[in-house]
């Protein structure tokens, strides 16, 4: 079973910061690799601008398999201007942005904007047009605001279905997928506490399922005197898991086996292992880290899959 874990309690705050986007409304950005004569570098710039639009309006652009924002580019005018030693292209295009739910194909927002650009080639001219996108413009702000309202309504209305689906996945030991699904629910919405409680229940089952493997990894690290790795692995074991007592025993063994000349390392490791954190907060941060890693390891969603 593939598992995703936090490397160390010392990394807790970093992991939490990285994973915050999973807990809030997240809309991934997907663009074409190429369209006719328009090459990929133009669309890479467009993706950057679209992510800036999301960020400017309080939206994460992490792709978590639920919602995506994608463009449709229509060139409405394309002129070749001959001028001395250099010819250049003048283009006018209509950029339409859409937000879609991947599982159902339902649209949650759309907007259109006319853009102009110029360059020596069509790609350069289109890229120049994309460079003129102002992420803070009202057209995009209104688009995101309306989409956020619809997405909020969607999550609120479908919370029970989300919980039932996650519980069903957990029954089939699809723990990472179940936790990732629950962490798509925005933490700012009513019902987030109920979702988090369900996630913690599933997380405990997940912990018990990997308990033996974590202990085995710890013993292997101790055997080669890699005490930092051993402590890091032990830090991943929940205090209510089936192997917690054995984890405590191993932590004492680690403290006894570190040599005197390793006092500095010993102090750091013991501090790491003994840090006091609110148990529920620590669990939610661990769940967010699992969810983030789960989404990162999923097959890439292509533009063609979305617009077909």
Residue bearing tokens 């490397």: 7
Residues of the chain with pLDDT > 90: what percent? 47
**Residues 118 and 180 occupy one common structural domain:** no
**Residues 289 and 230 occupy one common structural domain:** yes
**Residues 177 and 256 occupy one common structural domain:** yes
pLDDT at 267: 61
Radius of gyration of the chain, Cα coordinates, nearest whole angstrom: 25
**Residues 172 and 232 occupy one common structural domain:** yes
Segment among 96-100, 229-233, 275-279 with least mean pLDDT: 275-279
Burial class (CB in 10 A: 0-12, 13-18, 19+), 96: middle
**Residues 126 and 167 occupy one common structural domain:** no
pLDDT at 150: 93
- 14, pLDDT greater than 50: no
* Per-residue pLDDT tens over the stretch 51-72: 999 999 989 888 887 899 999 9
In a domain, 211, yes or no: yes
Query: Region 98-116: what's the mean pLDDT?
Result: 93
The answer to whether the beta carbons of residues 200 and 287 sit under 8 Å apart is yes
The domain spanning residue 66 has which CATH number?
3.30.160
Number of domains composing the chain:
2
**Residues 194 and 129 occupy one common structural domain:** no
Q: Exposure string (b/e) for 4-42, b if CB count within 10 Å is 16 or more? A: bbbebbbbbeebbeebbbbbbbbbbbbbbeebeebbeeb
* Per-residue pLDDT tens over the stretch 143-179: 999 999 999 999 999 999 999 999 999 999 999 999 9
Query: Region 277-303: what's the mean pLDDT?
Result: 84
pLDDT at 70: 96
**Residues 92 and 216 occupy one common structural domain:** no
**Residues 176 and 48 occupy one common structural domain:** no
The distance from CA 287 to its chain's CA centroid, rounded to whole angstroms, is 12
In a domain, 4, yes or no: no
**Residues 167 and 122 occupy one common structural domain:** no
**Residues 108 and 168 occupy one common structural domain:** no
- Expressed as residue numbers, the domain containing 75 is 25-136
**Residues 61 and 174 occupy one common structural domain:** no
| pTM recorded for the entire structure | 0.75
Helix 279-296, helix 12-23: angle, nearest 10: 70
Q: State how far the Cα of 33 lies from the Cα of 50, in Å rounded to an integer.
A: 15
Beta pairing, strands 28-29 & 67-83: parallel
**Residues 35 and 131 occupy one common structural domain:** yes
* Per-residue pLDDT tens over the stretch 124-143: 999 999 999 999 999 999 99
């Amino acid at each position: 079973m593939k598992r995703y874990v936090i490397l160390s309690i010392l990394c807790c705050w970093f992991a939490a910061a990285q994973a915050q986007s999973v807990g809030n409304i997240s809309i991934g950005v997907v663009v074409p690799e190429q369209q006719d004569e328009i090459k990929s570098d133009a669309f890479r710039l467009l993706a950057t601008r679209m992510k800036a639009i999301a960020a400017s309006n309080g939206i994460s652009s992490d792709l978590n398999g639920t919602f995506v924002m994608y463009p449709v580019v229509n060139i409405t005018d394309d002129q070749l201007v001959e001028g001395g030693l250099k010819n250049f292209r003048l283009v006018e295009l209509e950029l339409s942005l859409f937000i879609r739910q991947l599982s159902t194909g339902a649209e949650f927002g759309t907007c259109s904007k006319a853009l102009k650009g110029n360059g020596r080639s069509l790609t350069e001219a289109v890229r120049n047009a994309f460079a003129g996108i102002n992420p803070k413009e009202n057209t995009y702000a209104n688009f995101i605001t309306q989409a956020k309202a619809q997405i909020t309504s969607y999550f609120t209305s479908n919370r029970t279905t989300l919980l039932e689906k996650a519980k069903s996945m957990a029954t089939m030991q699809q723990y990472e997928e179940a936790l990732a699904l629950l962490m798509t629910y925005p933490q700012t919405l009513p019902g987030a506490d109920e979702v988090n409680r369900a996630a913690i229940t599933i997380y405990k089952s997940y912990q018990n399922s990997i308990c033996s493997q974590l202990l085995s990894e710890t013993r292997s690290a101790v055997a080669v005197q890699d005490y930092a790795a051993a402590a890091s692995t032990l830090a991943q074991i929940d205090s209510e898991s089936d192997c917690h007592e054995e984890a405590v025993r191993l932590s004492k063994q680690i403290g006894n086996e570190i040599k005197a000349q390793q006092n500095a390392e010993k102090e750091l490791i013991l501090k790491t292992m003994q840090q006091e954190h609110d148990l529920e907060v620590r669990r939610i941060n661990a769940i967010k880290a699992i969810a983030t890693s789960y989404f990162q390891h999923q097959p890439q969603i292509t533009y063609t899959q979305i617009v077909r």
